[in-house]
Amino acid sequence: MRGGHFYNVDTIGWVCQQCWKQNQNRTRSITNPESEEIVAALVKKSKTKQTTKAKSAKKKASTIDAKAQPYIDAGLGEPFARAIARDESVMDSVMDLWEARWWKQYDVDDVLVCSVLEGILSEDDAKWLHTVREWHEDMMYACIHGSCTVEWSRALLDSGFKEDSQAVTSVLNGAKPELVSRIRKMEVQTDLLPPQLDKPANISQPPLDAHGLLGIDNQVEDVEEDVEEDDHEVLQPSGLKLDMTILRNWDKKQISTFCRTATIQTSPTKKMMFARLVDACEALFAFPVGFEFYPKLTTREIKKIASACSIAGRSNMSGQKLGSVLAKTYQKLREIAH
């Protein structure tokens, strides 16, 4: 949209006519085949990484199986044995959990038990969720997925929501706690009410793999279409690079918050979120000019870029929406680049 001597560019606002012309001249020099080559190179790189990760995971799983088997033969539950096989430094805490009585009503591969073995929840948090699970199982799932914290959940129930499971579900689905309490004529302690969630919580039952381990990190929103691999390299990179020192100095909470604001999928592990940010930067910084100035890409190309960037909720977005989200993600990533 033109306004006097300025142009309104989606995601960054108004830019002067000179800046607009400079970027237009740069983008005109890029042909559609060249943009296709950039996307093809990104897809090829992404597929190579996925293949490498899959091989590494398979090899690691085989090693864990071998280490876990003697403990399984001795009578230890498989998820517990595998937790020790993955990291022997946690064997005392794993055995403490094995000997604890609070979870004995569940199977050894119960999702709440596995969430502790996977390091997603502390045992204390899991024990508390166990006490409210009968009425608020969806809240337990939300905590395991990382959609809300146990502290937030405690505050909600302590404020007066404990006896109303439907009210809790409404809040988990994105409603304001104070408004839900008024609608349902609940007596609550307003000073204890937690804030509204940034987005609806994931209250689906977390998946379990063949070994009873949570597969949250392995969930894939979109299955990439097969593409022909070629020898093209990413053309004319923008020159922007991720500032690794910033990420290394961030704790898990800071990285998770940044991923959410950049619309990049979060993860229970800092390492996985770190990797996703690196991949997103590689994908979006491959373009010679700012992503919002780039010539219109096809929906297919946009979806492939969104997949390479691990954009959250991409499977439910149109091509136009994805393009807008990617432009905003690009702007956010520039904050941690140089």
Instruction: Assign 3-class secondary structure to the chain.
Output: CEECCEEEECCCEEEEHHHHHHHHHHHHCCCHHHHHHHHHHHHHHHHHHHHHHHHHHHHHHHHHHHHHHHHHHCCCCHHHHHHHHHCHHHHHHHHHHHHCCCCCCCCCCCHHHHHHHCCCCCHHHHHHHHHHCCCCHHHHHHHHHCCCCHHHHHHHHHHHHCCCHHHHHHHHCCCCHHHHHHHCCCCCCHHHCCCCCCCCCCCCCCCECCCCCECHHHCCCCCCCCCCCCCCCCCCCCCCCECHHHHHHCCHHHHHHHHHHCCECCCCCHHHHHHHHHHHHHHHCCCCCCHHHCCCCCHHHHHHHHHHCCECCHHHCCHHHHHHHHHHHHHHHHHHEC
In whole angstroms, give the CA distance from residue 200 to residue 315: 16
Q: Which residue bears the tokens 């499977």? A: 315
Same domain for 170 and 240?
no
For residue 280, the enclosing domain spans 27-50+219-336
Mean pLDDT, residues 233-238 taken together = 41
Are 255 and 264 within 8 A, CB to CB? no
pLDDT exceeds cutoff 80 at 227: no
Same domain for 40 and 99?
no
Same domain for 138 and 85?
yes
Looking at the domain assignment, is residue 87 inside a domain? yes
Structure confidence at residue 38 (pLDDT)? 59
Q: How confident is the model at residue 6 (pLDDT cuts 50, 70, 90)?
A: low
Same domain for 110 and 169?
yes
In whole angstroms, give the CA distance from residue 237 to residue 263: 23
> Domain total for the chain?
2
Looking at the domain assignment, is residue 153 inside a domain? yes
Looking at the domain assignment, is residue 329 inside a domain? yes
- List the single range of 40-49, 140-149, 150-159, 271-280 with lowest mean pLDDT: 40-49
Mean pLDDT, residues 56-77 taken together = 82
pLDDT tens, position by position, 181-197: 999 999 999 999 999 99
Structure confidence at residue 97 (pLDDT)? 96
Looking at the domain assignment, is residue 15 inside a domain? no
- Least Cα distance to 197 among 260, 253, 132, 252 occurs for 260
Same domain for 140 and 99?
yes
Looking at the domain assignment, is residue 5 inside a domain? no
**In this predicted model, which residue has the larger pLDDT, 330 or 152?**
152
Q: Give the N- to C-terminal CA distance of the chain in Å, as an integer.
A: 30
Same domain for 86 and 43?
no
In whole angstroms, give the CA distance from residue 113 to residue 104: 10
**In this predicted model, which residue has the larger pLDDT, 283 or 165?**
165
- Least Cα distance to 107 among 69, 78, 64, 144 occurs for 78
Where on the phi/psi map is residue 326: left (φ > 0), alpha (ψ -120 to 50), or beta? alpha
**In this predicted model, which residue has the larger pLDDT, 130 or 279?**
130
Determine what percent of the chain is predicted with pLDDT higher than 90: 38
Mean pLDDT, residues 284-307 taken together = 70
- List the single range of 93-107, 163-177, 273-287 with lowest mean pLDDT: 273-287
Phi, psi of 3 (to 5 degrees): -145, 95
Looking at the domain assignment, is residue 69 inside a domain? no
Using the 3D structure, point to which of 192, 208, 233 is the last residue of a domain.
192
In whole angstroms, give the CA distance from residue 159 to residue 181: 10
Looking at the domain assignment, is residue 13 inside a domain? no
In whole angstroms, give the CA distance from residue 56 to residue 62: 10
* Cα radius of gyration rounded to whole Å, the chain: 24
In whole angstroms, give the CA distance from residue 334 to residue 281: 9
Same domain for 165 and 242?
no
Looking at the domain assignment, is residue 18 inside a domain? no
Same domain for 330 and 265?
yes
- List the single range of 234-243, 298-307, 320-329 with lowest mean pLDDT: 234-243
Q: Which two tokens stand for residue 325?
A: 């989200």
Residues in the chain: 338
Same domain for 106 and 141?
yes
Same domain for 161 and 252?
no
Same domain for 43 and 88?
no
Same domain for 238 and 327?
yes
Q: Does the reported pTM lie above 0.75?
A: no
